[in-house]
Amino acid sequence: MGKEQRRQLDAILRQGRLDTGGEVATLRATFNALMAQVPAPADVQQKPIEIGGIGGIEVTVRGNEAEGVILYFHGGVYVIGSATTSVALAAELVRRTGAKAITLEYRLAPEHPYPAAVEDARAAYEGLLAQGADPGQIAFAGESAGGGLAVATLLALREAGTPLPSCAFLMSPYADLTLSGETLDEKQALDPVLTPDGLRVRAPEYVAKADASDPQISPIFGDLSGLPPLLIQVGSHEILLSDALRLAGRAAATDVAVTLEVTPGVPHVFQGFAGVLDEAGAALDRASDFLKTHLEHSPSHVQRA
């Protein structure tokens, strides 16, 4: 696919690079303004929603009638981002799957450190079940911190004996807040989005007084047995590449059905650039096939008590 597309995107991202180590209020405002430049298409419908006491946005596309629900967790190193900033990417999945998405407004650090995000994600999922939703008709999806949060939430639900969703789609998951991955330094020069220094500033704000190696903070250290099928997509130019590799390895070692896709030469959460990068659209197509397969054919994934 497009080597020139990748080169141009890399240049754009480097020119407008976000300093994730900056002051929180300024960082949030800058990130929100940046994401506002990528509006959702006109046929995407957005409705504020509250589920399990947690706010979010229900994302649908006119004409879609599938029963499935994608519970979506936005990225932003647990400190920035919002349901609104994730609508455009969630809508790409909605359009391709026919399902609806609920992108969640989980609480952010440093005001609300761990376990706030996991508690909110779990409450929203349990809220869907309380409304009568079939777990087999629910999928998790998330990017960056949202990808790590998806797996952390699966672990929390499993420990509680709650029926699990059909599957989870993870884009560039941030799954090791101990920051021990070897690609953190190895890929630093290639990554136009994240920096090790930025993560070192933000990670302690979420971890706070907890242990960063707690599996519900850093799922790569957990026993992933019993989780539903996972699809993990990551780019080869990411400092978080080793998070995805180790998470996939951990899943495979515990008999979880896991598919790992490493796309060469693309940046963090490259799926968000489907309008300018051929690899992004192709990855979303594969992810949507994965989601549709499990939403249409999965029985309720009931974990042992």
Integer Cα distance of 292 and 64 in angstroms: 13
Residue 144 covered by a domain = yes
Q: For residue 194, give its domain range.
A: 3-297
Structure tokens at 121: 């994600």
pLDDT at 66 over 80: no
Kindly name the residue from 58, 92, 105, 238 that is annotated as catalytic. 238
Q: pTM score, two decimals?
A: 0.95
Domain count, the chain: 1
Residue 210 covered by a domain = yes
Kindly name the residue from 74, 268, 294, 301 that is annotated as catalytic. 268
Residue 264 covered by a domain = yes
Cβ atoms within 10 A of the Cβ of 95, count?
Answer: 20
**Low-confidence winner among 7-16, 65-74, 110-119, 204-213 (lowest mean pLDDT):** 7-16
User: Is 268 marked active-site?
Assistant: yes
Rounded (5°) CA angle 290-70-237: 60
Integer Cα distance of 20 and 202 in angstroms: 8
Residue 304 covered by a domain = no
Tell me if 270 sits within 8 A of 280, measured CB to CB.
yes
* β-pairing verdict for 258-263 and 167-171: unpaired
User: Is 126 marked active-site?
Assistant: no
Kindly name the residue from 144, 166, 172, 288 that is annotated as catalytic. 144
Tell me if 105 sits within 8 A of 145, measured CB to CB.
no
CA distances 248 to 92, 105, 297, Å, are 24, 27, 23
User: Is 242 marked active-site?
Assistant: no
Residue 303 covered by a domain = no
Residue 198 covered by a domain = yes
pLDDT in tens, 133-153: 999 999 999 999 999 999 999
Residue 103 covered by a domain = yes
Report CA torsion sign: 183, 186, 190, 195: positive
pLDDT in tens, 230-276: 999 999 999 999 999 999 999 999 999 999 999 999 999 999 989 88
pLDDT at 303 over 60: no
DSSP string, 125-161: HHHHHHTT--GGGEEEEEETHHHHHHHHHHHHHHHTT
For position 51, which CATH number holds? 3.40.50.1820
DSSP helix/strand/coil, 176: coil
Residue 96 covered by a domain = yes
Tell me if 102 sits within 8 A of 140, measured CB to CB.
no
